[in-house]
Structure 1
Amino acid sequence: MGSANVASTLVYMAERCTSMRYLKLIHAHAYRTCLHQHTVVLGKLFRFVAVSPFGDLSYAHNMFDQMPHPSTFFYNILIRAHSHSTTPSFSTLFFNRMRQNGVAPDEFSFTFLLKSRSFTTPFVYDTHGAVFKFGFSRHLHVQNTLIHLYAVGGVTLSAGRVFEDALKVGLDVDVVSWSGLLVAHVRAGELDVARKIFDEMPLRDVVSWTTMLSGYSQAKRPREALALFQEMRFAGVWPDEVTVLSVITACAELGDGEMGRMVHRFVDENGFGWMVALCNALIDMYGKCGCLEEAWCVFHRMKRKSLITWNAMMMVCANHGNADDAFRLFEWMIDSRVVPDGVTVLALLVAYAHKGLIDEGIRLFESMQRDYGVEPRIEHYGAVVDMLGRSGRLQEAHDLLTSMPIPSNDVIWGALLGACRIYGDVDMGEKVIKKLLELKPNEGGYYILLRDIYVAAGRTVEANEMRQAMLASGARKTPGYSWVEA
C-alpha cells in the first residue's frame, strides 16, 4: 500500500478514534510507516489528544514538543485545549511562545486566547491591545468574543466600545454581537438599559430572550419575566431548559401556581422531565405556591434525585408544618446514602420548630458538625433563635446570639425583638434594640417595635421617649409601621 493510502487510512481511523488506547496504536503505526510528521495525520491525532473529552493533554504536550516547527494550527489547538481546562493560563503561555518563535497568530488564536482570559487575570485588557496590534479588529468573530468577555465581567462601557468599534470599521454585527451587549448590562444589573437594547435588536434568538428573562427572574422582577415569556411564545421562539428554569423561578417568586402548572406541562410535553434541575425547581415552586400534592408528585416521579431534590422536598414539608414527613424524608435520604448538607439541617430545624420540639432541635444544632460535618452558618443560628424566641425562651436565644463565633446581622436580632414583643419582655427588648441600633442605626422600625413593647407593658413615658429618640436620630420608618395606636 502506498504512503498516500496509508496516510488516508490513518486519518480515517483517527477521525473515528474513541479512546487513548486506540489513539496510541494509530500513533505507533504512524511512526512505523514514517508518517508521524505527516501534516494531516499529525493534525488529526493531535486534535484528538488535545481537545477530545477522551484525550490526554499531557500526551498532547509530549507530541507538541516533538514537532520541529509547529504551525499556527498546532499552537491554536493547544491554546484552545487549555482555554477549556483547569489551567487556562497556559493558553497565554503558548500564545507568547508562538510569538517568540515567529509563528503568526490568526483570528482563531485570539478567539481561543480571549476565552481563556475570562478565567485569568488581568482579565482581557492586555489581549484586547494585542488584537489591535495584529490587525484582527476587523474580524467579527474576534470582536464578538471580546464583547462577550467584557460582558461576562459586567464591564458595560468596554463591551459597548467594542460593539461601536465593530460598527465603525464596517462589520455587519450579528445576533451574537447584540447578545454580548445585552449580557453585559444584565450582568451589571442595568435591566432597564438591557431591555432597551433587547427591544432594539434586529434579530433575537433563544439566547437573547433567555438572557433578558433570566435577568428579570434573578433580579426578583417575576412579573416582567413572565410577561416576557408570553411575548417569547407569541414570537414563535422555542424556549430551552434554561429559559424554562427562569420561568419556574419567577412563578415561585409570585406564587403563581396556575402559570407554574402550565410550565410543568410544557416540561413534560417537550421531553425536559428528565432534567433534575428543572424538577428540583418545580418542587420548590409548587411548595411556595402551596401545592404540596403536585410537589410530591414531581418528587416521586423523579428517577434520579440529587441532594438538592431531597432538600427541596424536605423544606417544602417543613415550611408547611408537615414535620413528620420531613423527618421521614430525612431517614429515607440517609438510607439512600445521600450525605446531608447545611440546607438539610436547616430544613430539619424548621421542622422541629413547627412541631414544637425545641430541645430536639437544639440537640441537632449542637451535634450537626460532629454528626454530619456541617458547620453552623448564620441561617442555622437564625432558625434556632427563632425557635427559642417563639417558645418564650428569650434569654437562651440572647445567650446564643451573644456567643456566636460568626458575625450576627440585623435580621437574626430582629427575630428576637419580634419575640420580645410577643411576650412583652421589656428588659430583653431594650437589650436587643441597643444591638440592632448598632447594626442598623437608621432603621426606624426597631424603635417602633420597642415602643409597642412599652405600650403593651403600660409604660407610656418610655414609649413617648422612644418616639422622640427616633425623630431625633433621623431614622426612617419602614413602610408598614405606624405610630398611630389601634
Structure 2
Amino acid sequence: MQNGILASTLAHMAETCTSMRDLKLLHARAFCASLHHHPLVLAKLFRFAAVSPFGDLSYAHRMFDHMPQPTTTFFYNLLIRGHSNTTATPSYSTFFFNLMRQKGIFPDGFSFTFLLKSTSKTNLHPCSVHGAVLKAGFCCHLYVQNALLHAYAAKGMSLMARRVFEEALRVGLEVDVVSWSGLIVAHARAGELEIARRVFDEMPERDVVSWTTMVSTYSQAKLPREALELFWEMRYTEIRPDEVTMVSVVSACTNLGDIDTGRMVHEYIEQNGFMWMVALCNALIDMYGKCGCLEMAWHVFNGMRRRSLITWNTMISTCANHGNVDDAFRLFEWMICSGFMPDEVTFLALLVAYTHKGMVDEGIRLFESMKRDYRIEPRIEHYGAMVDMLGRSGRLQEAYDLLTSTPITCNDVIWGALLGACRIHGDVVLAERVIKKLLELKPDEGGYYILLRDIYVAAGRPVEANEMREAMLASGARKTPGCSWVDA
C-alpha cells in the first residue's frame, strides 16, 4: 500500500518535472524504493527524458538499455519521437523503428507519424515509409495520412502529396485543415505558387497555420506585396495572426524596403504582446537596419530581455553596414562578455566594418584571429570580404596572394572583384594574371576581355587593347550585356 502511494507520488512529480537535475533525483529515489521498474513511474520518467524540451535523450538511452525488455510500442515510440524532434540525430528514429520490428513489436500509427516527421531531416524517402503504412493498414487513419502528406510536402514532392490527399478522400476520410495546409506547403516547396494559392482559396476552413504558410510562401518567394496584402486580408477574419506569422510579415516589409508599413507592423506586434519572441525581434532589427533606421534597430535591441547569437550578429551587421565600426566592436566585446561565442557570420560582419573604415591591418589581424583563436575556418564569403578590403586600399598583390594560397576554390565573383580593383588602381600586370584565372573558371565570359581592354586603354596601351578585342572574337566568348567595345 505504501509503495503504491509512493509510486503515484513519484509519477506525478515526474509529470510536473522541469529539469533533468530534478528528474535524476526522482529516478534515484525510485531506485532506493525499488520502484525504478514500476510501469507508471518508469513511463513518466522516461517520457520526460526522451521528449521534454528540458530532457536528455542520451539519459533516455541509458534508461532504455537498463529496463526489462520492452514489449509494447510505448518506449520505442518515445525514442522515435524524441529523435525526430532533433536536428542532430533524426536518423536514430529509423534505427529504433527497425529495432522495434526486429524485436517482434508491431508499430502503431504513432510510430509511423513520428518516423515520417524525421524524413524531412534525413535521407529516408517518404515512399519507403509509405509502403510500410499501406502494408500495416494505417491508410484509413487521418493523422497518419496527414503525416505522410506533410513528409512529401517537406521534400517539395507536390504530386505525391496530392496523391495522398486524394487517397484519403477515396477511402472516406474527412480531410481537415492540416491536410489542406500540407498541400499548400507541398506546392509552395515545389515552386508552384499559383497552385498553392488556388489550394488556399479552395480551403473550406483556414486556421492560423494555413494563413501563415501562405504569407510565408509569398515572403520567401520575394513577393512582399502579395504577402502584405494577404496579411491585411487575414486581419479582417476571425483568425488572429501569431508570432510566426509576424516574422514573415516583417520579412516582407524588409524585402520591400517599406519602413512606414514596417513601423505599423511593429506597432501591431507590440500591441498584441509578441515582443517576447526573439526571432521576431531579430527580424525587426534586420528590417530597421536595412531600411536605414538605425535608431529604431537599437531601440528593439536594447528592449530585448533575451538575445540569441543571431540577435548579436544582426545588430553587429547593422552597425557594420552603416559604417559604425566602434559600435560594431563594442557589441562584439559585449557579446563575448555575455557568454556568446562568435561564428562565421560575426566575423564576416566585423570584416565588413573594417572595410568601410579602410582599417586594413586591423582586418587582417581579425581574419588571422578567426582561425587561430576561435577555430573557425574562413569561408568563401570571408575571402571575398578580404579581397574587397585589400583591393580598396590598393594592396592588390596581397589580395592575389591570399586567393592563390587559400585551401578552398574561389569563384569568379571574387576574382572578378580583384580584377575590378586592378582597373581602379591601374595595375595592368596583375590584371593579366587575374584574367588567366577568370578565363579558367569562365572561358566563355566576354566581359573579362572587355575589362582588361579598358585597363589597357586607361594605361595608354592601345595595341594590347586591340589584341584583347581580337582575342575575344577569336575565342567566341559572349559579351556581357551592357558592355561595349565602343570608347566612351
SS of the equivalent of 2:284 reads helix
Counterpart residue identity of residue 201, structure 1: M
Give 2:181's aligned amino acid: S
Partner of 1:392: 394
Residue aligning to 1:366: 368
Quick one: which of 160, 178, 181 aligns to 1:179? 181
Which of 46, 64, 69 is 1:61 aligned to? 64
Name the counterpart of 2:273. 271
CA distance in 2, matches of 1:121, 1:87: 12
Q: Tell me the residue number matched to 2:425.
A: 423
Task: Indicate the residue corresponding to 2:235 in structure 1.
Answer: 233
C-alpha distance in 2, partners of 1:331/1:49? Answer: 36
Instruction: State the match for 2:414 in structure 1.
Output: 412
Question: Could you tell me whether the CA contact under 8 Å between 1:72 and 1:104 is conserved in 2?
Answer: yes
* Aligned position for 2:262: 260
Give me the identity figure in percent. 67
- Whole-Å separation in 1 of the counterparts to 2:242 and 2:406: 45
Question: Partners in 1 of 2:333 and 2:76 — Cα distance?
Answer: 54
* Cα separation, partners in 2 of 1:11 and 1:104, compared to 1, 3 Å: farther
User: Which stretch of structure 1 is more off in the superposition, 17-26 or 347-356?
Assistant: 17-26
> CA, structure 1 residues 163+29, in 2 after alignment: closer, same or farther (shift >3 Å)?
same
Aligned pair partner of 2:291 in 285, 289, 292: 289
Q: Summarize deviations over 1:237-277 as a string: whole Å, max 9, x none.
A: 43222222222223223322222222222222222222222
Could you report, residue by residue, the CA deviation over 1:266-324 in whole angstroms, capped at 9, with x for unpaired residues?
Answer: 22222222222222222222121111111122222223333332322222222222223
CA gap of 1:395–1:162, structure 2 versus 1, over 3 A, is: same
Q: 1:422 to 1:226 in 2, by over 3 A?
A: farther
- Measured after TM superposition, the shift of residue 143 of structure 1 is 0.9
Q: TM-score, normalization: structure 2?
A: 0.84
What displacement does 1:46 show?
6.2
The 10-residue stretch of structure 1 (86-95 or 205-214) with the greater mean CA deviation from structure 2: 86-95
Deviation at 1:407, TM superposition (A): 1.0
* Partners of 2:313 and 2:346 within 8 A in 1: yes
Native 8 Å contact 1:89 1:120 kept in 2: yes
Contact 2:8–2:41 (8 Å) recurs in 1: no
Q: Distance in 1 between matches of 2:238 and 2:474?
A: 59
Distance 1:36 1:353 in 2: 65
Residue 246 of structure 1 is matched in structure 2 by 248
1:438 positional shift: 1.9
Distance 1:217 1:79, change over 3 A: same
> How far apart are 1:106 and its partner, in Å?
3.5
1:127 aligned residue: 129
Query: Which one is further off, 340-349 or 190-199?
Result: 190-199
Specify the SS of the correspondent of 1:344.
helix
Matched with 2:342 is 340
Cα deviation for residue 147 of structure 1 reads 1.0
SS at match of 1:65: coil
Q: Give the gaps of 5 or more residues in structure 2.
A: none
CA contact (8 A) 1:10 1:26 kept: no
Partner of 2:437: 435
Q: Does 1:378 align with 2:372?
A: no
Determine the C-alpha separation between the residues in 2 that align with 1:398 and 1:46: 58
Tell me the residue number matched to 2:155: 153
Residue 203 (structure 1) aligned with residue 201 (structure 2): no
Contact 2:387 2:417 in 1 (8 A): yes
User: Residues 338 and 79 from structure 1, CA distance in 2 versus in 1: closer, same or farther, beyond 3 angstroms?
Assistant: closer
| Separation of aligned partners in 2, 1:8 and 1:379 | 58
1:320: which partner in 2? 322
Cα shift at 1:375: 2.6
Partner of 2:287, secondary structure, is helix
Note closer, same or farther for the CA distance 1:100–1:255 as it changes in structure 2 (3 Å cut).
Answer: closer
Tell me the matched-pair count: 479
Determine the structure 1 residue equivalent to 2:451: 449
Query: RMSD in angstroms over aligned alpha carbons?
Result: 3.6
* 5+ long unaligned stretches in structure 1: none
Please report how far the alpha carbon of residue 105 of structure 1 lies from its aligned counterpart in structure 2 after TM superposition. Answer: 4.0
Shift of 1:397: 1.8
Contact 1:206/1:239 (<8 A) preserved: yes
